[in-house]
Structure 1
Amino acid sequence: MDGTQVQLRSVALGKYLCAENGGGTVVVANRASPSGWETLKLWRVDATHFQFRVFFKQFVAVNNGGYAVAVTTRPGPAETFEIVRRTGDPNRVRIRAPNGLFLQGLARAPTVMREHWQSFIVEEDFKFIKDNGLNAVRVPVGGGSPATLLRRHTKYGLKVIIDLHAAPGSQNGDEHSGGRDGIIEWGVEPGSIEKTVSVIEFLAQRYASRPSLIAVELINEPRAEGVGFDTLKSYYQAGYDAVRRHTSTAYVIFSARLSADAGEFIPFTSGLDGTVLDVHYYNLFSDMFDGWTAQQNIDYVHNQRANQLAVVTKSNGRPLSFVGEWVAEWNVNNATSEDYRRFAEAQLKVLGNASFGWAYWTYKCEKQHWSLRWMITNGYISLV
């Protein structure tokens, strides 16, 4: 029946299933005794298929990495599990995920994530960044420990931009914003803006005194189709005030809305001290680039992209302009190494006119051209 409460205990581990923090992150099997976070509510789909709702109303799913998570409040096929009962013992069940595999090994998920955080970016990376002419890093919150990163950046004389990349309810519907189903509920879901301001307040209070902190970005890529101008402006004022309660020197970065006029917040931000407007430029994610040659992409950067950046780069620095994301990747078939090098060189020349600088997305990635480290190591980009 819908709403039936269950607590699931792993026979192999002797531990209870738990939605960490009550939901919004991984699901593990490491609790010795059950309570609220270890209690799931069943939503019946049919006689053998159910959805599991956790304490804070998210539903259990298995992500692309094979780990159980509870992050979406709107269940679908990805959140639907089959309960397979053991013959002769109705109190024992196995749970089959939508990918056909049974849930197991959940206690290791936090360990896997900690190992990733500790090994993906290491001491040598900071030396590499410094030695190759970079002076700052934009750190998406949730990608590791800001405290550790700030300490290491101080050692190497690097600056840090703390970027709030995901907000409660998702500000653009994409996975990197905490969304899984494409729905934007930030600013609509009760309390979502207040929670986000609280996060900014926490980050500013905790890290404002660190000499490596240069800026706090209030939110990443809010999408115009789901986040209204007035809603975002109100949040931006509250977020700016939260930062300024703890520091008068760190810059406050305002992200332009996706699918909107990039300069729409210039009148607002120009009246505030220490502000930066963040725009993201990709020759991707739009049908207009489909079928273009390498030279067409390069010409676009030198002409249209240069004009776009000029519009948001003000001579009085109110606000400063920041190209917070760009990449030397495109949809060009059979592009040569020289094509990629010229494309990267064109963007470096144009985006270098941003008054607050630029940040490449991303520093390290398994996709070669998305990895700045790979691009530098293999001679596509040179900054020294």
Structure 2
Amino acid sequence: MVLPCELIDEVLCRLPVKYLLRFRCVSKGWCSLIDSNAFVKKHLKRALECNAGGGSIFINSGGDKFYLADLESLDDDEAVAVEVKGSLKTRLSGAVVVGAANGLVCVSKNMMNQILVINPSTRRWRKIASAPAEFPRCSCSTEISLCGFGYDDVNDDYKVVKIADCHDRGMMVIVYSLKTNSWKWIQNVPRNVDFCGYWGMFAGGALHWLATKDPNASEIVVGFDLALEQFKEIPYLVVETPTVPATGVVSDGGSLWVLEYYPDSHMDMWMMNNHSGMENENLWFKALSVEQHFVLGSFSLLKPVAFSKSGESVLLEVHISVVDRAELVWYDLKSKTVKNVKIQGIPHNFESYAYTESLVQLSKNKLLQRPSLDKPENKHQENR
């Protein structure tokens, strides 16, 4: 009995990426189906909607080693992380993670002067084009160097944003498009704004940075809409108690969080409502507040990584400053209890990032490649 093509398509789009990569060898028909843009988008959409195939965690240990772990396996007593090896490991050596979107992870090397976009599930990578010569290379002479990576769902494009605030030329902003393989200058840039942090956090189709604005040095969140390629100012949350502690914005891949850290006391974690039309006072809500010494002793930083499939727990990355190590724990939002996550094979200090496994390809569009200047006979020889 031969299954209809429509039924095969529906079955395959429910499978994890690792199996689909193997099934490409079944036949030319299956290979063409799995590699098609329509199937890649359908598989990704289903994965984002119902977490088909399971979410994954990308772990970076100081830029020397990178690991992959299945999110659902972190519920087990002994989870296992797989180290990234081979040619991709060589490419990632010395890299730091910029951000992730739709299964693609962007990393930076050489002080943000070299940027790679990788798909950890397919082990494919792509080096993006160098920034324009007029854009300053990151160095100690640059006051601020920022970078961010995200997905433009309006134009179905992945973009990298670089920001440099120089002593002599002011703020300069460029945007790279993976679809066109080119950089674009942004003219309307924020004024009288000081950015905090290096990496833009991707959520809701925009990159976000915590910043302060003159003349009162009031805290705001600056967003860069990847579709409109415009900056926008987002009102900061209002807290009852004034605080001077470390604050920051992070993303779990879908939602934007603001962290308010009160040393020797607790950390409040606020989430931004994703619904448009929210009033300023309803824009942020406190998702959880974690007391010091709640687990593993005193912490120096907590970072939300991902929600569980049920949505009842959140995976937290806990940094213990006393012993200089990081841990992952499941935090139950209702009972306010924690469950330690033990992962074999990873170092004591690391950073983790959630991403959705996908088949998104990184090959350049052949229509956008420069036409060859070779003679016809050389073309035929090259084809042979």
State the TM-score bracket (shorter-chain normalisation): under 0.3
TM-score by length of 2: 0.27
Higher strand share: 2
TM-score by length of 1: 0.27
Answer 1 or 2: higher relative contact order, Cα 8 Å, separation at least 6.
Answer: 2
Higher helix share: 1
